Amino acid sequence: MPRELPSTYPHIPKVGPPARSRLDALLVKQATPLRRRSGDVLFRAGQVPKYLYFLECGEVRLQRITRTGQEVFFQRSAGGFIAEASLRSAAYHCDAVCRAPCELLALPCTALREAIDTDAAIRWSWIDLLSAQSRGQRLRIERLALKTISQRLLHLIYTEGEHGSYTLQGSRKDLAADLGVTPEALYRALTALESAGTLSVRGRQLVWHA
């Protein structure tokens, strides 16, 4: 049982995804639709970014290869822009691989760069997007710094869930990778929390009994 509950600021409103109507319009006008199968590679580390990808449905994983050749899970995307930080980079910093059949939009980097310079709404959409991503990453860092799986789980439900309820996006194995633990440990932590009455698992819903 965690002795220290996840950190929280109840008085801070949750930040939703930034409005992006103009950005959406740009996507419709300038981007080309793509379909990719599971296993296809969107881009590899080291390549020069030519397109920004927007994931409409499916799943894409950002990953890197360790020195010993092992794939290391990096981040999972189930929708939205991928590798936003690469708009002006000289090279991608990770591989992007589809893990499910995907529908994507490929927007030329040049198109977005121009739009950012000429369209104030798109400009601020982009800045808000980057800011939101940064805040999300910070929460993830905070979560990974917690010592026990239980703490990380409750932190996840509290920061990413709605009304104390978090809906799993992928498999539990994926969740384990997200939390930086092994699947076995996660399963055990879930049953332990459930039998302690702290949590209940209903299909893909994790509900926290505060």
Partner DNA sequence: CGTACTTTTGAATCGCATCAAATCTGGTGG
Partner DNA sequence: CCACCAGATTTGATGCGATTCAAAAGTACG
* Contacting residues toward DNA, per CB under 7 A: 1, 147-150, 171-173, 180-185, 187-191
- Whole-number minimum distance, CB 170 to its own copies, in Å? 16
Residue 66, contacted partner among its own copies, DNA, none, CB below 5-8 A by kind: its own copies
Whose CA is closest to 75, among 153, 146, 136? 136
- 23-62 residues near its own copies, rule: CB under 8 A: 45-46
* Residue of the chain from 86, 122, 190, 199 that contacts its own copies (CB under 8 A): 86
Contacts of 172 (CB under 8 A, 6+ apart): 183, 186, 187, 190
Tell me whether residue 50 or residue 135 sits nearer to its own copies (CB atom): 135
Minimum CB distance to its own copies smaller for 74 or for 187: 74
Say which DSSP state 101 is in.
-
Picked from its own copies, DNA, none, the partner binding residue 38 (CB below 5 to 8 A depending on kind) is: none
Size of the site for its own copies (CB under 8 A): 53
Stretch that binds its own copies, among 24-32, 78-86, 166-174, 201-209 (CB under 8 A): 78-86
Query: Which of 37-42's residues contact partners 24+ apart within 8 Å by CB, and which partners?
Result: 37/98, 37/101, 37/102, 38/98, 38/99, 38/100, 38/101, 39/97, 39/98, 39/99, 40/97, 40/98, 40/102, 41/95, 41/96, 41/97, 41/98, 42/82, 42/96, 42/97, 42/98, 42/104
Chain centroid offset of residue 158 CA: 16
Whole-number minimum distance, CB 140 to DNA, in Å? 16
CA distance 130 to 74: 18
Q: Which of 162, 147, 151 is nearest to 198 (CA)?
A: 151
Within 102-121, which residues bind its own copies (CB under 8 A)? 116-117, 120
Closest separation in Å from C-beta 65 to its own copies: 7
Count Cα atoms within 13 angstroms, Cβ side, for 90.
0
Q: Which of 21, 32, 89, 110: binder of its own copies (CB under 8 A)?
A: 89
Provide the binding-site residues for its own copies, judged by CB under 8 A.
Answer: 4-9, 11-13, 15, 45-46, 64-68, 70, 72-75, 84-91, 93, 116-117, 120, 123-124, 126-128, 130-135, 137-138, 140-142, 144-145, 180
